[in-house]
């Protein structure tokens, strides 16, 4: 497996890189990176989709909005918890619809805390990634490890495994792996990913597999800020119980 870095995603990102390199707000010119991408998720037997919006800045922001193409309205972004340099709008369950998200140029309107303003377009173009499905979830050993396998999704650039408690709190965030790998082993150590809390034997969790793709113009230096689409597959498990 080729471990890359923690992959940011709509439910769960560990913000790093561009936004944490900020120094003095008064000493530098406002710079931002923007991203709009589609998230696909299954509700019972029905696949629904919603957009996620992000603005990453090198200094403190006071406001950010997104104008949707084709007179689709304006979305207000909010400061993301844990980062004073990131504004975002992550979808909740009620945001997901069966209608396809609008493709085209989404215009981000950004204002810095010192009054600077910027308008940055970001093109949304996606390929309808299929929902990934686990084909193997197996526990073994002492201490417990979890072995996972899944079906490869056409058009995906990679995958990330996550685990949440049933209240929706992130418990485990794996490393992103390449598109041609369909196996992952979760251990209790940081070698397999980031644990915010230890898993408890017999406790129920929501296991999540994220298949993702990048924008066509993404390159080796900016791909983490150029997500195109994420499709999420979920399975409820009891930790340690086959």
**Statement: residue 111 has pLDDT above 70:** yes
pLDDT in tens, 35-92: 999 999 999 999 999 999 999 999 999 999 999 999 999 999 999 877 788 999 999 9
| Closest of 134, 136, 152 to residue 209, by C-alpha | 134
**Statement: residue 204 has pLDDT above 90:** yes
Contact indicator for 224, 123 with CB cutoff of 8 Å: no
Higher pLDDT: 28 or 91? It is: 91
User: Quick one: fold of 134-238?
Assistant: Immunoglobulin-like (2.60.40)
| Closest of 92, 89, 125, 119 to residue 107, by C-alpha | 119
CATH class of 17-124: mainly beta
Q: Whole-model pTM above 0.75?
A: yes
Give residue 25's pLDDT: 52
Angle at 172 between CA 212 and CA 58, to 5 degrees: 65
Every domain of the chain with CATH number 2.60.40.10 lies at 134-238
- When mean pLDDT is compared across 17-26, 85-94, 203-212, the lowest value belongs to 17-26
Tokens coding 51? 């957009």
């Amino acid at each position: 497996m080729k471990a890359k870095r923690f992959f940011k995603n709509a439910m769960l990102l560990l913000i790093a890189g561009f936004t944490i390199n900020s120094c003095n707000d008064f000493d530098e010119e406002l710079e931002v990176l923007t991203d709009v991408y589609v998230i696909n998720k299954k509700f019972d037997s029905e696949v629904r989709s919603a957009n996620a919006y992000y603005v990453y800045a090198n200094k403190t922001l006071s406001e950010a909005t997104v104008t949707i193409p084709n007179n689709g309205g304006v979305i207000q972004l909010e400061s993301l918890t844990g980062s004073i340099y990131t504004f975002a709008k992550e979808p909740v369950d009620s945001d997901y619809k069966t209608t396809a998200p609008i493709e085209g140029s989404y215009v981000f309107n950004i204002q810095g805390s010192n009054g600077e303003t910027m308008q940055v377009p970001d093109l949304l173009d996606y390929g309808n990634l299929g929902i990934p499905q686990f084909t193997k979830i197996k526990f073994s050993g002492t201490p417990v490890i979890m072995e996972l396998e899944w079906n490869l999704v056409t058009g995906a650039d990679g995958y990330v495994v996550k685990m949440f408690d049933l209240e929706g709190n992130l418990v485990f965030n794996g490393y992103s792996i390449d598109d041609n790998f369909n196996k992952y082993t979760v251990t209790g150590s940081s070698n397999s990913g980031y644990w915010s809390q230890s898993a408890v034997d017999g406790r129920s969790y929501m296991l999540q597999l994220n298949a993702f793709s990048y924008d066509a113009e993404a390159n080796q230096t900016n791909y983490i800020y150029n997500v195109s689409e994420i499709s999420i597959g979920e399975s409820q498990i009891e930790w340690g119980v086959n």
